[in-house]
Structure 1
Amino acid sequence: MKSIRTKLKVNNKQKTILAKHAGVARHAYNWGLETCIKDYEETKKRPSAITLHKRLVAEVKSQNPWYYEVSKCAPQQALRDLERAFKNFLTLPKRGFPKFKKKGKKDSFYLEGSIKIIQGNYIKLPRIGIVKTYEILPSVPVKNVRISKRAGDWYISFKYQCQPKTTPKKRAVIGVDVGINTLATCSDGTIFANVKAYKQAKKRLTRYQRRINKKELGSKNKAKAIKKLAKAHKKVADIRADALHKLTTWLAKNHSTIAIEDLNVSGMLKNHKLASAIADCGFYEFKRQLSYKCDCYGSKLVIADRFYPSSQLCSHCGQKQKMPLHKRTYECSNCGFTADRDFNAAVNLENYVLH
Structure 2
Amino acid sequence: MKTIQAYRFALDLTPTQERAVLAHAGAARVAHNWALARVKAVMDQRAAERTYGLSDHQLTPGVSWTLPALRRAWNAAKDDVAPWWRECSKEAFNTGLDALARGLKNWADSRLVGFPRFKSRRRATPTVRFTTGAIRVEPDRMHVVLPRLGRLTLYESARKLARRLENGTARIMSARVRRDGGRWHVSFCVEVQRAERQPARPASVVGVDVGVKHLAVLSTGELVPNPRHLGDAQRRLRALGRAMTRKAGPNRRTGHRPSKRWQCAADRLGRAHARVANLRRDGLHKLTTRLAREHGTVVVEDLNVAGMLRNRRLARHIADAAFAEIRRQLAYKTSWNGGRLIVADRWYPSSKTCSGCDAVKAKLALSQREYTCEACALVLDRDLNAARNLSALAAEIDTAGSGPVAGRGADRKTPLAGQAATKRQPGTATAGKTGTVPPQGGTTTRVLARAH
TM-score bracket relative to the smaller structure:
over 0.9
TM-score by length of 2: 0.74
Q: Which structure has more helix as a fraction of its residues?
A: 1
TM-score by length of 1: 0.93
Instruction: Give the Å deviation of 1:336.
Output: 2.1
Structure 2 distance, partners of 1:146, 1:108, is 7
Question: What CA RMSD, in Å, does the superposition of the two structures yield over aligned residues?
Answer: 1.9
Instruction: Give the Å deviation of 1:65.
Output: 4.6
Q: Given that residues 185 and 342 in structure 1 are in contact (C-alpha distance below 8 angstroms), is that contact kept between their aligned partners in structure 2?
A: yes
| Secondary structure at 1:16 match in 2 | helix
What is the identity percentage for the equivalent residue pairs of Structure 1 and Structure 2? 35
1:274-285 pair list within 5 angstroms = 274-285=314-325
Q: Aligned residue for 1:249?
A: 289
1:101-120 pair list within 5 angstroms = 101-104=119-122, 105-113=124-132, 114-119=134-139, 120=141
Q: Given that residues 210 and 217 in structure 2 are in contact (C-alpha distance below 8 angstroms), is that contact kept between their aligned partners in structure 1?
A: yes
Structure 1 distance, partners of 2:129, 2:79, is 18
From 22, 27, 30, the equivalent of 2:25 is 22
From 263, 270, 287, the equivalent of 2:303 is 263
Pair 1:45 & 2:48 matched = no
Structure 2 distance, partners of 1:80, 1:156, is 19
Q: Aligned residue for 1:178?
A: 210
Q: Aligned residue for 2:178?
A: 148
From 138, 153, 156, the equivalent of 1:132 is 153
Instruction: Give the Å deviation of 1:70.
Output: 1.9
From 94, 105, 130, the equivalent of 1:76 is 94
Structure 2 distance, partners of 1:36, 1:342, is 50
Instruction: Give the Å deviation of 1:351.
Output: 1.0
Q: Given that residues 304 and 346 in structure 2 are in contact (C-alpha distance below 8 angstroms), is that contact kept between their aligned partners in structure 1?
A: yes
| Secondary structure at 1:93 match in 2 | coil
Q: How many residues align?
A: 355
Q: Aligned residue for 2:245?
A: 213
CA displacement, residues 70-99 of structure 1 (integer Å, 9 cap, x when unaligned): 211110231121122122222333432211
Structure 1 distance, partners of 2:301, 2:190, is 30
Instruction: Give the Å deviation of 1:178.
Output: 0.5
Q: Given that residues 172 and 191 in structure 2 are in contact (C-alpha distance below 8 angstroms), is that contact kept between their aligned partners in structure 1?
A: no
Query: Which stretch shifts more, 64-73 or 44-53?
Result: 44-53
CA gap 1:334/1:135 in 2 versus in 1, 3 angstroms: farther
| Secondary structure at 1:325 match in 2 | coil
Instruction: Give the Å deviation of 1:69.
Output: 2.0
From 279, 285, 288, the equivalent of 1:239 is 279
CA gap 1:207/1:317 in 2 versus in 1, 3 angstroms: same
CA displacement, residues 199-231 of structure 1 (integer Å, 9 cap, x when unaligned): 122222222222222211321111111111111
Instruction: Give the Å deviation of 1:50.
Output: 3.0
Instruction: Give the Å deviation of 1:285.
Output: 0.8
Q: Given that residues 199 and 339 in structure 2 are in contact (C-alpha distance below 8 angstroms), is that contact kept between their aligned partners in structure 1?
A: no
Relative contact order: is structure 1 or structure 2 higher (C-alpha 8 Å, sep ≥ 6)?
Answer: 1
CA gap 1:295/1:207 in 2 versus in 1, 3 angstroms: same
